[in-house]
Chains A and B, each alone.
Chain A
Amino acid sequence: MDWIALALSLRLAALTVLILLPVGIWIGRWLAFSDFRGKGVVEAALALPLVLPPTVIGYYLLVGFGVASPIGEVWFRLFGRGLVFSFEGLLLASVIVNLPFAIQPMQRAFEAIARDVREAGAVSGLSPWQVLARIDLPLAWPGIVTGLVLTFAHTLGEFGVVLMVGGSIPGETRTVAIAIYDRVQAFDNAGAGAMSLLLLVLSLLALSITYGLSARVGKRHG
């Protein structure tokens, strides 16, 4: 078992979840409650990571994060190191790749809140922030947790994008999924098997939680 890779994976997943919690709520709520021209294009763009091969996303992120790119250049000026093949670069890539996993369940949960219930909050004297805290979040929390659980599980299992953007630097960018690949390459089937089993159990757990919460959302609004 590669404990350093496991710790790195868990750290990456936890930070991705932490960043996508406010981002997902904000974008999910915005998409759920507003109607504008080009909304379909925005939703399609956010869903792209679901259908594109990870190597394609990885390739664009690699090009986009390189020192020759504006993002990479700004990053280099600020921190004196490159974004590619670093943990920070990996985290940024992870956040981008996980956008649909976080946003879509949250958006669906916000959409399930009846419009007049939110309006009733406003005419009862609740400010927009109070409507968020006292109506939106308490009603949408199963969807929010689902988005976070999916994000966490998906980050642990991501392979292609990690390999393209981060490579396999121990303690910096080598995640469990990469470590499994390395073990197999080194004919260490026992090590690969242990880590694979761990990922399998974690994924099953995450999906169980997700399905359980989806049923809860259905019951509440059904």
Chain B
Amino acid sequence: MADAVLSISLRQSGPIPLDASISSDAGSVMALVGPSGSGKTTILRAVAGLYRPRHGRVVVNGQVWLDTECGIDVPPYLRRVGLVFQNYALFPHMTALANVMTALGHLPAGARRSRALALLDRVNLAGFETRKPAALSGGQQQRVAVARALARDPDVLLLDEPFSAVDKVTRQRLYVELRELTLSLALPILFVTHDFDEAARVAGRMCLIDRGRVIQTGTPRDVLARPASVRAAALVDLKNVFSARVSRADPSRIWLDWAGRSIEAHAPEGFSGIAPGQAVSWAIPATQVLISRTDMTVADETPNRFAATISDLVHLSESVSVKVRLDGPDRPELSMTLPAHYARRTGLVAGSAVTVALMPDGIHLIMEV
């Protein structure tokens, strides 16, 4: 933690509750994700100096920007921070070029123009220098905002839901551009979003935030598929979360008793100290549930197979979202996502009798303390 380029620790009980410790290294993109009102933007604002928490410490490159215990609170204009606001907050009375030049006050006057032109070129906006924000599209405004944030030659780059104000097609293009840009920048980048797919596309690490608290940090894959708690699973919209009891365990596998059904799961790394009879929660991502039309009576080596009935089936643009109810007195519901062509080929409809299989390596045990 001590040698991280950016280290943030914020704590207060109100008016916006905060309990967050986050650190990030140069060249890494950290996504702060969580529901609206969870305090993501407040964390970003505290780093920029636009919000002062009751207790907190923000250190960037060894420089203390905020330390409430020592009474240090560097004003925003003295913090070298690039911030892309949610609605870009471009200066409406200035051209794109002047917007970028405004953030170049640290350069000699003669060098600002050429630097601003180079930055606009870098975000693919050459030729739009003399336009004012009102004459630019949403995507173009976002690029001016990024160029202006980089103009400051920042020690940390902060992006507050930078894609929320552009259409889906533009967004896809901007994801690629931002990804390329972040790969070329040797500074920590904090990126706020409430969209998990967006976080997974842009960020290498993800920080799940709930009511101002960091509840899980890890790679997007880990956070999305391996939630640390039932609450984290709910926040990442992991629908298949159930309770079970451990029936037996060996070093590599664990068997659960799920309301009379036996479930086999892979034991996670470094996993020990689980006793038969212990209550646990388990989760499986929608992509790790398989479905087939074969009858349960057909011999099959696949573990965790259960007879079920399709209760709902929704066609999305590239996939099909399916809900099934397993047979049995408790009739639990499982959600899964299938490729559209598979559903079409097999002729699945609501009411179809199917067999589902839960991939043992997709089953994640939630060991809450």
> Shortest beta-carbon distance, A191 to chain B, in Å?
47
CA distance A138 to B132 in the complex (A): 14
With an 8 A cutoff between CB atoms, is B305 at the interface?
no
With an 8 A cutoff between CB atoms, is B77 at the interface?
yes
> Shortest beta-carbon distance, B152 to chain A, in Å?
6
With an 8 A cutoff between CB atoms, is B126 at the interface?
no
Stretch in A90-98, A117-125, A171-179 with 4+ CB within 8 Å of B? A117-125
CB atoms of B77 and A138 under 8 A apart: no
With an 8 A cutoff between CB atoms, is B273 at the interface?
no
CB atoms of B91 and A117 under 8 A apart: yes
CB atoms of A134 and B89 under 8 A apart: no
CA distance A128 to B93 in the complex (A): 18
Residue of B nearest to A221 (CB): B92
**1/0 per position for A78-121, CB-CB distance to B under 8 A?**
00000000000000000000000000000000000010110111
Q: Contacts of A123 on B, CB cut-off 8 Å? A: 48-50, 76-77, 79, 81-83, 152
CB atoms of A125 and B89 under 8 A apart: no
The count of chain A contact residues (Cβ–Cβ below 8 Å) is 20
**1/0 per position for A124-145, CB-CB distance to B under 8 A?**
1111101000110011000000
With an 8 A cutoff between CB atoms, is B105 at the interface?
yes
CA distance A150 to B48 in the complex (A): 40
CA distance A130 to B82 in the complex (A): 18
CA distance A135 to B93 in the complex (A): 8
Q: Contacts of B311 on A, CB cut-off 8 Å? A: none
CA distance A63 to B151 in the complex (A): 59
B residues 57-116 touching A (CB-CB < 8 Å): 75-77, 79, 81-83, 85-87, 89-93, 102-103, 105-106
CA distance A117 to B105 in the complex (A): 17
Q: Contacts of A138 on B, CB cut-off 8 Å? A: 93
Q: How many residue pairs at the A-B interface have CB separations less than 8 Å?
A: 67
Query: Given A125-B103, A125-B106, A125-B152, does the pair A120, B89 have CB atoms closer than 8 Å?
Result: yes
With an 8 A cutoff between CB atoms, is B205 at the interface?
no
With an 8 A cutoff between CB atoms, is B213 at the interface?
no
Q: Contacts of B92 on A, CB cut-off 8 Å? A: 117, 139, 220-221
Q: Contacts of A221 on B, CB cut-off 8 Å? A: 92
> Shortest beta-carbon distance, B232 to chain A, in Å?
31
With an 8 A cutoff between CB atoms, is B325 at the interface?
no
With an 8 A cutoff between CB atoms, is B148 at the interface?
yes
CB atoms of B87 and A116 under 8 A apart: yes
Query: Given A117-B92, A139-B93, does the pair A125, B105 have CB atoms closer than 8 Å?
Result: yes
- The answer, among A121, A127, A128, for a CB contact under 8 Å with B91, is A121
Q: Contacts of A139 on B, CB cut-off 8 Å? A: 92-93
Of listed A117, A120, A128, A134, residue having the most chain B CB within 10 A: A120
CB atoms of A127 and B77 under 8 A apart: yes
CB atoms of B76 and A119 under 8 A apart: yes
- The answer, among A117, A122, A135, for a CB contact under 8 Å with B77, is A122
CB atoms of A119 and B102 under 8 A apart: no
CA distance A221 to B76 in the complex (A): 25
Some 23 contacts from A to B, beta carbons below 8 A apart, are A114-B87, A116-B85, A116-B87, A116-B89, A119-B83, A120-B83, A120-B90, A121-B102, A122-B49, A122-B75, A123-B49, A123-B76, A123-B79, A123-B152, A124-B77, A124-B105, A125-B103, A125-B105, A125-B106, A126-B77, A135-B91, A139-B92, A221-B92
What 8 new A-B contacts, CB under 8 Å, besides A119-B48, A123-B77?
A: A117-B91, A120-B89, A120-B91, A123-B50, A123-B76, A123-B82, A124-B105, A139-B92
Interfacial residues, chain B to chain A (CB-CB below 8 A): 48-50, 75-77, 79, 81-83, 85-87, 89-93, 102-103, 105-106, 148, 151-152
